[in-house]
Chain A
Amino acid sequence: MVRRDPPPDFLSSGPLVPFETDRASGELLWVGAQVENLLGLSAEEVDPANFWSTVVVPDDARSMTSARARAPLTGGGYTVDYRVERADGRVLWVSEIGSALENEDGVPVVRGYLVDVTDRKRQEVALWKSEERLRALLRHAPDALVLTDESGNILNLNDQAELLIGYPLSEVAGSSIEHIVPVQLRARLTELRSAFERDPERRTLIDGHGFAVEHRDGSLTSVALSMSLVRAPHGATQIMHSFRDLTAQERARAQERIRPDEVHRVANAMPALVSAASVDHRYRFVNDAYADWLGWERRQIEGRSMREVMGERLFAYLQESIEEALNGSAAHFRGEMFGPSGDSFPADISVVPQFDDVGHVHGYYVVIFDVTREVQAGEADRRQRAELAHVGRLATLGELAASLAHELNQPLSAIVSNAEAASRFLGREDPDVAEARGALMDIASDGKRAGDVIASMRQLLERGEARRETLDLGAVVDEVFALLNSEAISRRVRLTQGDEPAEAPEVRGDAIQMKQVLLNLVINAIEAASPAQGPPGLVRVETTVMTEHVELAVRDDGSGLGDRDPEELFAPFMSRRTGGLGMGLAISRTIVEAHGGSLTAANAAESGAVFLVRLPRGAGEVEELAHDG
Chain B
Amino acid sequence: MTAEERAAFTGPVAVVDDDPSVRSALVRLLGSVDIRCVSHPSGSDFLSSPDLHEVDCLLLDVHMPGLSGLEVLDEIQHAATKIPVVLMTARYESDFAARAIEAGASAFLRKPFADGELFAAIEEATGSAVLR
Residues of A within 8 A of B (CB): 401-403, 405-406, 409-418, 420-421, 424-425, 435, 438-439, 442, 445-446, 449, 486, 488-490, 492, 494, 536
Contact = CB atoms under 8 A, between A and B. Distances in A.
Contacts of A414: 19, 21-22, 24-25
Nearest to B68: A492
A421 B92 contact: no
Contact of B112 (A409, A438, A536): A409
A421 B29 contact: yes
For the complex of A and B, 4 pairs with smallest distance between CB atoms: A413-B111, A409-B90, A424-B32, A417-B25
Contacts of B32: 420-421, 424-425, 435
A418 to B, nearest CB: 5
B74 interface: no
A416 B116 CA distance: 11
Interface in B24-82: 24-26, 28-29, 31-33, 63-66, 68
Interface string B111-125: 111110010000000
A402 B90 CA distance: 9
Interface of B: 18-19, 21-22, 24-26, 28-29, 31-33, 63-66, 68, 88-93, 110-115, 118
B39 to A, nearest CB: 13
B91 A405 contact: yes
A403 B91 contact: yes
A593 to B, nearest CB: 35
Contacts of A435: 28, 31-32
Given A486-B91, A489-B63, A446 B114 contact: no
A133 B84 CA distance: 120
Contact of A490 (B25, B31, B91): B91
Contacts, number: 95
Contacts of A446: 21, 25
| A410, A411, A442: most-surrounded residue (chain B CB, <10 A) | A410
B58 to A, nearest CB: 17
B71 to A, nearest CB: 10
Nearest to B62: A490
A490 B28 contact: no
A424 B33 contact: yes
A442 B114 contact: no
Contact of B25 (A409, A442, A486, A494): A442
B22 A413 contact: yes
Contact of B113 (A413, A439, A494, A536): A413
Contacts of B92: 401-402, 405
Nearest to A445: B21
Contacts of A488: 65
A421 B113 CA distance: 13
B63 A411 contact: no
Given A413-B90, A425-B32, A490 B21 contact: no
Given A435-B28, A446-B21, A486-B63, A415 B91 contact: no
B68 A416 contact: no
Contact of B90 (A405, A418, A421, A492): A405
20 contacts: A401-B92, A402-B93, A405-B90, A409-B110, A409-B112, A410-B19, A413-B88, A413-B112, A416-B112, A416-B114, A417-B25, A417-B26, A417-B29, A417-B115, A421-B25, A421-B115, A424-B29, A424-B32, A442-B24, A490-B63
Q: Taking each of B25, B92, B115, which has the highest tally of chain A beta carbons within 10 Å of its own beta carbon?
A: B25
Contacts of B115: 417, 420-421
Contact of B91 (A402, A492, A494): A402
Nearest to A446: B21
Contacts of B64: 489
User: Of residues B18, B92, B111, which shows the largest number of chain A Cβ atoms within 10 Å of its Cβ?
Assistant: B111
Given A401-B92, A405-B90, A410 B114 contact: no
Nearest to B19: A410
Contact of B29 (A401, A405, A406, A418): A418
